[in-house]
């Protein structure tokens, strides 16, 4: 009988523990921030800086392709701040009624072409990506980086077939760095973060597109304070250090 009671107690405890893990309130009061994949670098620093400035616990950052974040928010993820790589995906969250207050534009970015180090295929411009036999990698059309890249290609009237619709810009950047593809289109900040593991090739400003990063408070008062912090000089300095432009 003792064993049965022990099993029963264990099962009950497990059930409550799981329910506890599933609850939205976090006891440590730390913010949960969902950020577009390209924001990984600056957002770690921004979280630290925010914690230092306000005395709050360091926010927890969850980074993924923007559409995946929107999906998780739609299905009820507990998130205090959402930072999107474009306004299209942010609008979806606004439409869900999850945004409190205004959405703010806090950073901008440009696209570049990246190739393996040494640029073995001699890619000089967007036009070169249309060459036969070249393996070019883009994000899927719903991912902001993929949508922007397709916009730039359309501006230049070039048709490029991506060898895969990648879920986030980071996976494009890393597969180019691994040498699995000949070229990819990513943000200038991704190329900067990868340093000499890739070679970047500028896109003609006539065709290039500006990526607009927007953030919004999606839950608590503390969320609002992080969104305000994103507009501060300290935040702008960190973002610029990582290669972003600030509005």
Q: Write out the residues near other proteins by the rule CB under 8 A.
A: 4, 8, 65, 67-68, 70-71, 74, 135, 137, 140, 142-143, 162-167, 178-181
**Among positive and negative, which fits the CA dihedral 180, 186, 188, 192?**
negative
Closest approach of Cβ 235 to other proteins, in Å?
A: 28
Nearer to other proteins, 190 or 220 (CB): 190
Closest approach of Cβ 47 to other proteins, in Å?
A: 26
**Under DSSP, is residue 59 helix (H, G, I), strand (E, B) or coil?**
coil
Closest approach of Cβ 55 to other proteins, in Å?
A: 38
Nearer to other proteins, 8 or 247 (CB): 8
Could you report how far apart the first and last alpha carbons of the chain are, in Å? 69
The candidate with the shortest Cα–Cα distance to 142, out of 160, 165, 164, is 165
Closest approach of Cβ 71 to other proteins, in Å?
A: 6
233-242: which pairs have CB atoms within 8 A and are 24 or more residues apart?
234/49, 234/53, 235/46, 235/49, 235/106, 238/42, 238/45, 238/46, 238/49, 239/42, 239/46, 239/106, 239/107, 241/42, 241/45, 242/41, 242/42, 242/45, 242/189, 242/192, 242/193
Nearer to other proteins, 31 or 160 (CB): 160
Nearer to other proteins, 47 or 149 (CB): 149
Nearer to other proteins, 136 or 227 (CB): 136
Nearer to other proteins, 161 or 241 (CB): 161
Closest approach of Cβ 189 to other proteins, in Å?
A: 22
H or E element at residue 223: helix 221-230
Closest approach of Cβ 10 to other proteins, in Å?
A: 13
Q: Please, are residues 146 and 206 in contact by the beta-carbon 8 Å criterion?
A: no
Closest approach of Cβ 136 to other proteins, in Å?
A: 11
- Here the tokens at position 153 are 């290609």
Q: What are phi and psi of 128, to 5 degrees?
A: -65, -20
The candidate with the shortest Cα–Cα distance to 81, out of 247, 245, 221, is 221
Nearer to other proteins, 27 or 132 (CB): 132
């Amino acid at each position: 009988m003792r064993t049965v009671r022990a099993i029963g107690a264990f099962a009950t405890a497990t059930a409550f523990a799981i329910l506890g893990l599933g609850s939205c309130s976090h006891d440590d009061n730390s913010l949960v921030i969902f950020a577009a994949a390209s924001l990984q670098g600056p957002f770690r620093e921004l979280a630290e800086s925010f914690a230092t400035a306000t005395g709050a616990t360091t926010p927890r950052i969850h980074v993924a392709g923007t559409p995946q974040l929107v999906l998780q928010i739609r299905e009820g993820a507990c998130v205090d701040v959402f930072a999107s790589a474009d306004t299209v995906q942010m609008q979806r969250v606004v439409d869900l009624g999850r945004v409190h207050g205004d959405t703010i534009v806090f950073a901008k970015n440009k696209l570049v072409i990246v190739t393996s180090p040494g640029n073995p295929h001699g890619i000089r411009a967007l036009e070169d990506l249309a060459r036969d036999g070249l393996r070019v990698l883009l994000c899927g059309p719903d991912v902001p980086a993929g949508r922007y890249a397709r916009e730039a290609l359309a501006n230049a009237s070039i048709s490029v077939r991506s060898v895969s619709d990648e879920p986030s810009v980071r996976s494009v950047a890393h597969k180019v760095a691994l040498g699995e593809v000949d070229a990819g289109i990513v943000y200038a900040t991704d190329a900067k973060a990868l340093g000499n593991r890739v070679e970047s090739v500028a896109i003609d400003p006539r065709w290039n597109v500006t990526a607009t990063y927007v953030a919004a408070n999606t839950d608590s008062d503390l969320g609002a304070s992080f969104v305000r912090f994103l507009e501060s000089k300290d935040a702008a300095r960190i973002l610029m250090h990582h290669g972003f432009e600030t509005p």
